[in-house]
Chains A and B, each alone.
Chain A
């Protein structure tokens, strides 16, 4: 009995502690000390390449800004949390960043599913959140504090549909979607509608779930339908294996994908089987523009690896935020929100960023071709 009473007391004390913590609230506008910015991403889960790469971009941007004297004399401090790629964990770590660490803004996540889980927390606390690379439209529809610096799935799906129909002259497409991922299902929907509008036909639609290991059943069905292209809007972990198994079954038509393919591990998994496949992406490291080449060079000398699109978007997200804090002259939630919303013609490495009324960035996309373990620039498709 004594023990129960003791544990109840402890629980009560803990709860009281949390309550105080919450009452402290957010958006406190203290003008001295470092500016705390929260970053959350998958640093140890199935898509940890994404989270790590984005974090590298964010850190590099923050360091550059700090070296140049910070924002209005204040340094940026990045507080980073690992959500293991799990939506429920994303919501938890974002709550921690807001309530305990009192960050003034959030950067994250890559996967739309995780951003969707975390965004309501940011919205409720009136802490602006900028997703570097979640492309599902629903993410910024959560509320007026949620922004992104990348294009959205309707556009990305349309880009690939246009490329398939106009450049590859494909008439029949098969689709293989990741059933549990909002990202994949969004892309599937928009590719399908655009491709049909362009006179194409989707002849079969198969699905898998993240973590599956055998895709031959689906691929055999796709093979018997005999498509011109296969659209696989998934993440690199599964896509590499899908490409390999498709080749084993003698499927030689190109696979088409999105920015979810962009990770060095894709090539370890898929190897030669990926040759001749195409993806839509946010930018190309081969772009000769001086700003991009400077970014690629700096990143490469810092991390000894070429920045993928996620690193570039992380970099841009941090700089857009810094620009807004500087223009607005405040870290106060509602005012900072207005400043981010007013971002116009910001020169990012992934393109010129203007935040529109839906809090999305309007930008062009590139199509890259896979050749011998590299992404080779094909063409740019404008919105």
Chain B
């Protein structure tokens, strides 16, 4: 029983990170109908910015909450700027062409970022400095929750609520929803769509960077290619929840995280080796596309942002 609870906590931790990244995929898709394949690399970039900030600001020497907060916010800002730059210089110039052009550009940007980092920093994993004094709190039996897991839950819930507030309670959010309904009509209504698209990229990228720093804190190994698989799974999460649908992305992320952890934890009992964890996300993707192409929460008249 305590093992089951522990596996659920483990799964939700991984899932919360997927959810944070999936939000970026889903928001950009909602507005531009573009799958931004470079998004997983923004997550990686966030982790690396956090790594360098921690050293530059002198927080790498010992755990401190202040340091963690500053590193987290700093890397979210840098990633937001990077996301806006990618949109401005890579996607905006080709936006007027067929959608496939932007998609291929996105793949190109992704490869560019990955290989730039490999070339500059090397592919060897680096150790992310410990900014949080690690401690475990027993729940019952053997089950325990660690400080970094609590941090992941707290920060991701806070960020998701903040996002919800921005989208539904602010003028920018209203404009974002308008753009997602119809870009051209929104333009005719006097909305500066370029700025709104920029803001969408900034928000999504900041969330991905937060995911990057939180993951690195939870499990301190970062490398330039860490965004590929995680990004793909977050994308699957977004599709599972219904791409373009914000609560769907969160639900999808948590489900993928749980599914993976259960394959690892219990798969062996039914003859599925733990190395099938990565296959599971994609098996789920195929099933979703076969039986419910719009995703769990998606509908044909969906509310997209």
Interface residues in B200-243 by Cβ distance below 8 A to A read: 215, 218-221, 223, 225-226, 229-230
- Determine, out of B24-32, B157-165, B257-265, B281-289, the stretch whose residues face the partner at the interface: B257-265
Whether A248 pairs with B136 at a CB distance below 8 angstroms is yes
5 A-B contacts (beta carbon < 8 Å): A44-B123, A46-B125, A213-B230, A240-B221, A244-B134
B101 contacts the other chain (CB 8 A): no
B85 contacts the other chain (CB 8 A): no
Name which residue of chain B comes closest to A86, CB basis: B123
Whether A214 pairs with B274 at a CB distance below 8 angstroms is no
Whether A249 pairs with B144 at a CB distance below 8 angstroms is yes
- Determine, out of A24-32, A216-224, A334-342, A349-357, the stretch whose residues face the partner at the interface: A216-224
A259 contacts the other chain (CB 8 A): no
B193 contacts the other chain (CB 8 A): no
Whether A265 pairs with B127 at a CB distance below 8 angstroms is yes
CB-CB under 8 A from B223, the residues of chain A are 46, 211
Whether B6 pairs with A220 at a CB distance below 8 angstroms is yes
Shortest Cβ distance from residue A223 to the other chain B in the assembled complex, whole angstroms? 6
A45 CB contact (under 8 Å) in B14, B124, B130: B124
Interface residues in A1-52 by Cβ distance below 8 A to B read: 44-49
B273 contacts the other chain (CB 8 A): yes
Whether A48 touches B127, Cβ cut-off 8 Å, given contacts A244-B219, A249-B136, is no
CB-CB under 8 A from A85, the residues of chain B are 123
B219 CB contact (under 8 Å) in A44, A84, A214, A265: A214
Whether B273 pairs with A207 at a CB distance below 8 angstroms is yes
Name which residue of chain B comes closest to A226, CB basis: B142
A271 contacts the other chain (CB 8 A): yes
Whether A248 pairs with B146 at a CB distance below 8 angstroms is yes
Shortest Cβ distance from residue A42 to the other chain B in the assembled complex, whole angstroms? 9
A209 contacts the other chain (CB 8 A): yes
Which of B127, B134, B260 has its CB near the most chain A CB atoms (within 10 A)?
Answer: B127
Whether A221 pairs with B265 at a CB distance below 8 angstroms is yes
Which of A220, A221, A265 has its CB near the most chain B CB atoms (within 10 A)?
Answer: A220
Q: How large is the interface on B (under 10, 10 to 19, 20 to 34, 35 or more residues)?
A: 35 or more
A303 contacts the other chain (CB 8 A): no
B65 contacts the other chain (CB 8 A): no
A258 contacts the other chain (CB 8 A): no
Shortest Cβ distance from residue A84 to the other chain B in the assembled complex, whole angstroms? 7
B268 contacts the other chain (CB 8 A): yes
Q: Other than the known A214-B261, A248-B146, A269-B221, what 8 A-B pairs have Cβ atoms closer than 8 Å?
A: A44-B122, A48-B123, A179-B274, A209-B275, A213-B230, A224-B3, A240-B220, A265-B124
Interface residues in A153-207 by Cβ distance below 8 A to B read: 179-180, 206-207
Whether A49 touches B124, Cβ cut-off 8 Å, given contacts A44-B118, A241-B221, A244-B220, is yes
Whether B142 pairs with A221 at a CB distance below 8 angstroms is no
Bound complex: CA of A212 vs CA of B7, how far in Å? 17
Q: How large is the interface on A (under 10, 10 to 19, 20 to 34, 35 or more residues)?
A: 35 or more
A380 contacts the other chain (CB 8 A): no
A108 contacts the other chain (CB 8 A): no
Whether A237 pairs with B6 at a CB distance below 8 angstroms is no
CB-CB under 8 A from B277, the residues of chain A are 212, 217
Whether B229 pairs with A211 at a CB distance below 8 angstroms is yes
Bound complex: CA of A305 vs CA of B210, how far in Å? 36
Shortest Cβ distance from residue A202 to the other chain B in the assembled complex, whole angstroms? 13
A245 CB contact (under 8 Å) in B219, B225, B260, B263: B219
CB-CB under 8 A from B105, the residues of chain A are none
Whether B125 pairs with A221 at a CB distance below 8 angstroms is no
CB-CB under 8 A from B265, the residues of chain A are 217-218, 220-221
Which of A213, A215, A221 has its CB near the most chain B CB atoms (within 10 A)?
Answer: A213
Whether B219 pairs with A213 at a CB distance below 8 angstroms is yes
Name which residue of chain B comes closest to A251, CB basis: B142
B274 CB contact (under 8 Å) in A47, A49, A206: A206
CB-CB under 8 A from B230, the residues of chain A are 213
CB-CB under 8 A from B273, the residues of chain A are 179, 207
A288 contacts the other chain (CB 8 A): no
Shortest Cβ distance from residue A235 to the other chain B in the assembled complex, whole angstroms? 10
Whether A217 touches B10, Cβ cut-off 8 Å, given contacts A223-B142, A248-B146, is yes
A221 CB contact (under 8 Å) in B13, B148, B268: B268
Whether B229 pairs with A216 at a CB distance below 8 angstroms is no
A377 contacts the other chain (CB 8 A): no
Whether A240 pairs with B127 at a CB distance below 8 angstroms is yes
Whether B275 pairs with A250 at a CB distance below 8 angstroms is no
Bound complex: CA of A215 vs CA of B275, how far in Å? 11
Bound complex: CA of A49 vs CA of B122, how far in Å? 11
Interface residues in B101-120 by Cβ distance below 8 A to A read: 118
Which of B10, B123, B138, B274 has its CB near the most chain A CB atoms (within 10 A)?
Answer: B274
Whether B134 pairs with A208 at a CB distance below 8 angstroms is no
CB-CB under 8 A from A268, the residues of chain B are 126-127
Shortest Cβ distance from residue A225 to the other chain B in the assembled complex, whole angstroms? 10
